[in-house]
Amino acid sequence: MASGRWIVPLRRTPHAGVRLFCFPHAGAGASAFRGWSRTLPAGVDVLAIQAPGRESRVAEPPFQDLPPLVAEVAGALEAYDDYPMAFFGHSLGAMVAFEVTRELQRRGRNGPIRLFVCGCRAPHRAPRSSPIHGLPDADFLEELGRLGGTPHEILGQDELMALLLPGLRADFRLAESYLTSTTARVACPISALGGREDPEATAEDMAGWAAHTAAGFRFRLFPGDHFFIFDKPAGVADALAIDLRASLVGETRP
């Protein structure tokens, strides 16, 4: 099954009421959420998207354009739409999760009961930084080190980085070229989570997500920078628990 390549289970809990699908940031794979998932409340099954070009799929060519990636992920998720689900996307993952939600709506399939977007500018807001995906290798690696998210011990391993660079460049190309209008909306509520010291997704950038749903919007800021969800996950887990409970009101297990 295609879903077997795309979906990695991270945590199963007894009597789960919802499945939370996590969409990683640029260059990251499903394992980015493995430790983070342990902080989430009981009753939430956690699964993550594994795209080509990373971890178990590192030998596969990464996607260079967003629409075919979105179509593949949406197709894989159709096998899971018999149960309440929510999406959580960090940075590039938030863009992908938003577009996958829209694609499921276009197909008439069950989408998420709530979309969590984290550390990502609203879809209609242009990037704050100049594109880096086309820079020479040395300059590109320097920018990766500045942005964080890729350990310096990995950046210093030439053979490993030669393997990872195509996927990293492809992901940054997707993120840096993504822009849509305020008329692009999802049918579910959106919860936006941002880091107070995040230069890539400011409070103003994050608040703009309110334009992309008419079903309800919540916005929270947390201490930290772009990767605050991994540095101090407890507050994020509490926010997810509150908003998931709100969205599950009226839901029943199949």
Tens-digit pLDDT profile for residues 67-84: 999 999 999 999 998 899
More confident residue, 210 or 177: 210
* Secondary structure of residue 202 in the 3-state scheme: coil
- The mean pLDDT of 118-122, rounded to a whole number, is 95
Q: Which two tokens stand for residue 247?
A: 């969205």
Neighbour-count burial for 93-130, b at 16+ CB within 10 Å, e otherwise: bbbbbbbbbbbbbeeeebbbbbbbbbbbbbbebeeeee
More confident residue, 61 or 233: 61
Residue 88 has pLDDT above 80, yes or no: yes
Q: Are the C-beta atoms of 16 and 82 separated by less than 8 Å?
A: no
Residue 172 CB neighbour total at 10 angstroms: 22
Candidates 74, 99, 61; CA nearest to 3 is 74
Residue 151 has pLDDT above 70, yes or no: no
65, burial (CB in 10 Å: exposed 0-12, middle 13-18, buried 19+): exposed
- Catalytic residue annotation: 91
d(CA 86, CA 19): 6
* Per-residue model confidence (pLDDT) at position 230: 87
Q: Are the C-beta atoms of 208 and 233 separated by less than 8 Å?
A: no
For 252, phi then psi, to 5°, come to -130, 150
Highest mean pLDDT among 68-82, 116-130, 143-157, 168-182: 68-82
Domain coverage including residue 120: 2-124+179-248
Q: Kindly report the CATH number assigned to the domain that includes residue 214.
A: 3.40.50.1820
| 143 domain residue, yes or no | no
| 46 domain residue, yes or no | yes
Candidates 154, 147, 151; CA nearest to 225 is 147
**Beta pairing class for 115-118 and 44-49:** unpaired
Query: In terms of pTM, does the model score above 0.85?
Result: yes
d(CA 137, CA 158): 11
More confident residue, 73 or 28: 73
Quote the number of domains for the chain.
Answer: 1
| 170 domain residue, yes or no | no
Per-residue pLDDT reduced to its tens digit, 209-239: 999 998 999 999 999 999 999 887 888 999 9
Candidates 237, 244, 235, 187; CA nearest to 16 is 244
| 195 domain residue, yes or no | yes
| 6 domain residue, yes or no | yes
Q: Are the C-beta atoms of 172 and 132 separated by less than 8 Å?
A: yes
In percent, the amount of the chain with pLDDT more than 90 equals 57
| 141 domain residue, yes or no | no
Mean pLDDT of the chain: 88
| 87 domain residue, yes or no | yes
Q: Which amino acid is at 76?
A: A
